[in-house]
Amino acid sequence: MNHNMHEQQPLRQTIYYGTFIHTPTPTTLSVLEKTSIGVSSTGTIIFIEPLSPTDAASKHSWSTYTTTRTPSSTSFFFPGLIDTHTHASQYPNVGLFGSSTLLSWLETYTFPLESSYTSLARARTVYRRVVARTLSHGTTCAAYYATIHVPSTNLLADICHSRGQRALIGRVCMDRMSPEHYRDESPATALQHTKDVTAHIRALDPEGALIRPIVTPRFAPSCTSACLSTLSSYAESEDLWTQTHISENSSEIELVRSLFPGSPNYAGVYDCFDLLTPKTILAHAVHLTPEEVRLIAARGSKVSHCPVSNSALTSGAAEVRTLLDAGIDVGLGTDMSGGYSASVLEVARQAMLVSRVVALRDGERGRDGEKAKLGVEEVLYLATKGGARCVGLEGVVGGFEVGMEWDAQLVSLEKVDAGSFVDGAESERFGDEQGGYDDDVLDQTAGPVDIFGWESWPDLVAKWLYGGDDRNVLKVWVRGRLVHVLGGGALRERVEND
Ligand code: GUN
Ligand code: FE
């Protein structure tokens, strides 16, 4: 890793040239070939022209600029991915959930880890890693939950700010149903500590250009009515976004029913405290009733779909098509460490599969099974533009449009090299009694996706969605600033030699 990269250097205006792929709508994959995108020194897209960099520059009277080109015929620029729901503090537990379900998982795995962030040293180690890791997967923006601890939550904001990742930072509020040492003493404590984090973030980034605070009541079972009501008033008075969990697991729903007997349902609990607003991100929404879907749609609240987590914790299969048809904005969330992966691409892939599980279930119930299935373009839309709508960055990030900011990744897939195969040579090498292997044929540092050269762009994108990983992310930018270069010894050489 080039350490200078982390310093805030003045940016030069840049022309990106090559193939650009994005999803302007949920059902369109737009491919712009031989195109120049001009990005200002403040990271804003100034022009998009089907011209060479030289011609585009002269058309726009740009005399000095840097040029960044796609390195091959199987590489392309794609918008940065948006993780609309994740717990930075739970990152060390990724992959650890055994066969638990939500409520036992919280007690066994989650609260013990989260409560340890009284240690700033631990917070520093974990949060630096989370931000580096998610950037390496092309995540340019994340809505984070931290823990109840103010200093370590502030540190997460500092790290995102200095590494240049866009983030919403949530100090977790909870005044019941967790171990006594990991709980807000009172609603007043929850509010004061939330204010402290807000003040820190406002000092760090007064305009909220990169980092914004987000009010974070953990979920209804963790918060008393007084806590929910206090936080709701605060969010409203300060015009802040809010994030929480909803309808993830059936035992959780039962628990909410018993804790809030006066409310008709889970969504009704939040609504009764005015927590369902157009600035609210609700994670999961797996088991919503039709009335709840209508209510959330009417309030304009957003849903973060977390299929990896929902399968891992056997929470269920969310009906994304139903949410979309109701007009709800949906984004994707890794929900680490309910989810086992830091990658939003993995979440998009699992959203495809879970939608097919829903399709099968619908078919068994005599409904049209085809309807539920999400398409490649749709899940990539949810990962980019859809996510942007969920975090209040509609029109700012998520696509390639004049006026948007350059939050992007350079994706490169390995083209199978016909020249590696010498006719006749295979039989000699593989016929070897000693048992030979041909180590020239595979470059495993380039990731597992094989492109043969005859694929259309949509086919290439589908292959990336199903098989791609961080080895395919050569570079990542946020607001025009380079924030990640594929790193690590031999891998970095591959990028630098391009
Ligand atoms: N509900 C309340 N807290 C959590 C959490 O940390 N993760 C998930 N997935 N659901 C929750
Ligand atoms: Fe979560």
> DSSP string of 19-50?
EEEEEEETTEEEEEEEEEEEE-TTSBEEEEES
Residues 138 and 26 both lie in one domain: no
Q: Which of 335, 357, 390 is a domain's end point?
A: 390
The answer to whether residue 97 is domain-embedded is: yes
The answer to whether residue 261 is domain-embedded is: yes
Residues 55 and 95 both lie in one domain: no
87 lines ligand 1 (CB under 6 A): yes
Q: C-alpha angle with apex 116: 114 to 119, nearest 5 degrees?
A: 125
The residue type found at 238 is E
What is the Å distance from ligand 2's center to 415 Cα?
A: 38
The answer to whether residue 398 is domain-embedded is: no
The answer to whether residue 396 is domain-embedded is: no
Residues 298 and 423 both lie in one domain: no
The answer to whether residue 323 is domain-embedded is: yes
User: Are 396 and 404 spatial neighbours (Cβ–Cβ below 8 Å)?
Assistant: yes
For 331-382, write each residue's pLDDT tens digit.
999 999 999 999 999 999 999 999 999 999 999 999 998 999 999 999 999 9
Residues 294 and 262 both lie in one domain: yes
Residue 386: predicted pLDDT: 98
Which residue, among 381, 274, 398, 251, has the nearest Cα to 320 in the 3D structure? 381
Place of tokens 């983030």: 167
**Which residues place a Cβ less than 5 A from the ion ligand 2?**
283, 335
Q: Which of 347, 363, 390 is a domain's end point?
A: 390
The answer to whether residue 271 is domain-embedded is: yes
Angstrom distance (rounded) from CA 396 to CA 291: 32
309 lines ligand 1 (CB under 6 A): yes
The answer to whether residue 144 is domain-embedded is: yes
Model pTM above 0.85: yes
What is the Å distance from ligand 1's center to 245 Cα?
A: 7
Residues 428 and 386 both lie in one domain: no
Residues 325 and 246 both lie in one domain: yes
Please, which residues bridge with residue 476 across strands? 409, 484
110 lines ligand 1 (CB under 6 A): yes
114 lines ligand 1 (CB under 6 A): no
The C-alpha R_g of the chain, in whole angstroms, comes to: 23
362 lines ligand 1 (CB under 6 A): no
Residues 348 and 243 both lie in one domain: yes
- The count of structural domains within the chain is 2
The residue segments making up the domain with residue 219 are 81-390
Residues 343 and 246 both lie in one domain: yes
The answer to whether residue 131 is domain-embedded is: yes
CATH code, 284? 3.20.20.140
What is the Å distance from ligand 1's center to 446 Cα?
A: 35
What is the Å distance from ligand 1's center to 114 Cα?
A: 12
For 68-96, write each residue's pLDDT tens digit.
999 999 999 999 999 999 999 999 999 99
Residues 427 and 380 both lie in one domain: no
The strand pair at 481-485 and 473-478 is best described as antiparallel
CATH code, 10? 2.30.40.10
Average pLDDT along the chain, 498 residues, taken 10 residues at a time:
49 95 98 98 98 98 97 98 99 98 97 98 98 98 98 98 98 97 98 98 98 98 98 98 98 98 98 98 98 98 98 98 98 98 98 98 94 98 98 98 98 84 52 58 88 97 98 97 82 60
Residues 330 and 447 both lie in one domain: no
Residues 486 and 368 both lie in one domain: no
Q: What is the DSSP letter of 405?
A: B
Residues 114 and 227 both lie in one domain: yes
163 lines ligand 1 (CB under 6 A): no
Q: Which of 390, 418, 442 is a domain's end point?
A: 390
- Nearest ligand 1 atom, CA 313: 9
Question: What's the longest Cα–Cα distance across the chain?
Answer: 78
